[in-house]
Structure formats: structure tokens, C-alpha cells
Amino acid sequence: MHTLPIEDISPFIRIAHRQLGQLNMGERVIVDHEFVLLLGGEARFVTRAGETPFLKHQLLFIRPFVPHGFSSTVANEHLAVHFDLNPRQPKFVHHPERRRPYEIRFADDLDIAVQQRLTPRDGIHEDLLQLVRDWKSGTRVGRLAAHARLLGIIAALLRPREAGGAAADADGSGVKRSRVQRALALMEARYAEPLTAEDIAHASGLGHSRFAVLFRELTGYSPKEYLRRLRIDKARLLLADIDLSIKEIAARTGFDDQYHFSRVFRQIDGVPPTAVREALLTRGRISIT
């Protein structure tokens, strides 16, 4: 492990892009560092410790050689920046495929959170958007501006390391996150059941009020809203099965009746479930036998 003095941070950008489409990616490792900002839609960030929701305006900081992936069932837009923290660390900067597993930590007990929520008005959010624009200009001045902007972003994100290094846990562990993951696992396993807020909080081992605050902090949603969206995610998949009626899909995903299901579906997706099924049929994504 190499400890990098703060004054030696001099980021070297490798890739910077903005992309539309479903963020689906099997397990992989990267040989540099990466920021990923979700600009629209939602996905899941998958590590060997489990899955966590990756929601609009959330920023991921992914370290080299840490296995991870993404999964999504809806269209989304994301921004990604691959970079080295210093062009001399590690060696073979121009031949990343020759790198061996390494770890760089910041000096002065500082670190960057693995996952955090930005806002559209956040200076960091806008800086990342401008960074990609500068990089894509292809000019020397544009590339220089992008490198300088990334240095400012890193400086703004550096925070004192949490006790036990929780802020730097690249696998998503840490006391707070693990408590929320317990609740997420419960919802994933029992989304079709009539779960209460108390049931979900109990799975985390926290009181209802404290859990609600922590859950929103890490996911951007209340537990109730997250469960609604999870149920709709599951329902979208079932819409591809033409043998299931809308009423049956509603029952299988935890809704009291098809009218409540249709209302919530429209609130989240902007269209009724029947329209989604019709689109699937029209595009030939459903095989009728």
C-alpha cells in the first residue's frame, strides 16, 4: 500500500465520458480510480459484499482492483471519469494492462467516501459535467482544464477517515452501510409481503426514526418509497410474461389490487403498465408461443 501525500495529488485523466443506456456490467476490476455519477434513472452497485442502490445524483468512488459491477432494468444516464491520482503512481502509467494489484491511500487520515449523494446545484455535480465537456473538446487547453477541475473535485471530496476506515471501505462494508444492507436484503426477499416500516427498521437493528434518517442518507429515498420502487422494478420484469394478467402481477409484487398497482406504476414510470406491455409486444421483445 502506498500513502500519497495530499500535496502530491496530481490527477491524470484516462477516460471521461457521459453515456445513455442501461448500466449493466458484470463483475470487473479496473486498474485505475473511477468516479461514476448517475445523472438519470437508477441502478444497483454490486460488490462481493452485496448490492446497494445506485440512484440519481449519487457519486461512486471506485478503487483499483476491487471487484464490482452494475445492474439495471431501466434506462439511465451516467458520467464516468477514470484517472490516476498521480502520474507516477503506480508505475507503467501508459501501460495499465501491466499493472499488478495496488492500493493508494491518502495521507493525513483523509479519504473519499465510496458512495455519496450530490445535488444538481452542487458545485461538484456541475464540475463533473464541465470536466467531461472540457475533456471531450480534445484541445490541449480543454484537457488541461479537465485535469485542473478534477483536482478541485478531489479536494472538495476529501474528508477525515471514519473510525476503522469505514469511509474508505471499497467493498461497501462499514457499520452504517451494513445496517442498511440488512434492510435492503429483507425488502429484496419479501417485497411481495405487506412489510411495515417497523419490520424494515427492525432488520437493521436500529430504531425507526434513526433508521429512516440513515436509509435516506445512503439511498436518497425513504424506506417506504424505496420499497415501492423495488416492487415496480420487479413488476416490469413480470410484464414480459404475457401469461400473467395485470391483476396477477400486482398480487405478486405486493400491491393490494391492480388499481393501486397501476396508479403507483404511472407515478414512477409516467405511463401505465399496460403501455409498457404494449411497447414490449410491439418491439418483439416478448415471444408468443
Domain co-membership, 66 together with 14: yes
249 and 164 belong to one structural domain: no
Q: Which range among 119-128, 187-196, 278-287 shows the weakest confidence by mean pLDDT?
A: 278-287
Residue 237 has a pLDDT of: 86
Q: Supply the DSSP string of the chain, one letter for each residue.
A: -EEEPGGG---EEEEEEEEES---EEEE--SSEEEEEEEESEEEEEETTEEEEEETTEEEEE-TT--EEEE-SS--EEEEEEEESBTTBSS-TT-GGG-----EEESTTEE--SEEE--TT-HHHHHHHHHHHHHHT-SHHHHHHHHHHHHHHHHHH-EEPPGGGGGG-TTS-SHHHHHHHHHHHHHHHHTTS---HHHHHHHHTS-HHHHHHHHHHHHSS-HHHHHHHHHHHHHHHHTT-TTS-HHHHHHHTT-SSHHHHHHHHHHHHSS-HHHHHHHHHHTT-S---
The grid coordinates listed for 218 are 445512503
The verdict on 36 and 163 lying in the same domain is yes
Q: 238 lies in which domain range?
A: 179-282
Over residues 78-94, the mean pLDDT reads: 79
Q: Do residue 160 and residue 213 come from a single domain?
A: no
pLDDT band at 178; cut points 50, 70, 90: confident
Among 168, 195, 214, residue at a domain's last position: 168
Looking at residue 90, its pLDDT comes to 60
For residues 254-259, average pLDDT: 95
| 150 and 263 belong to one structural domain | no
C-alpha angle 27/31/32, rounded to 5°? 115
Q: Are residues 159 and 186 in the same domain?
A: no
Same domain, 38 and 152: yes
> Does some domain include residue 267?
yes
- Does residue 102 share a domain with residue 144? yes
| pLDDT level of residue 170 (50, 70, 90 thresholds) | very low
Residue 173 forms part of a structural domain:
no
- Count of structural domains, the chain: 2
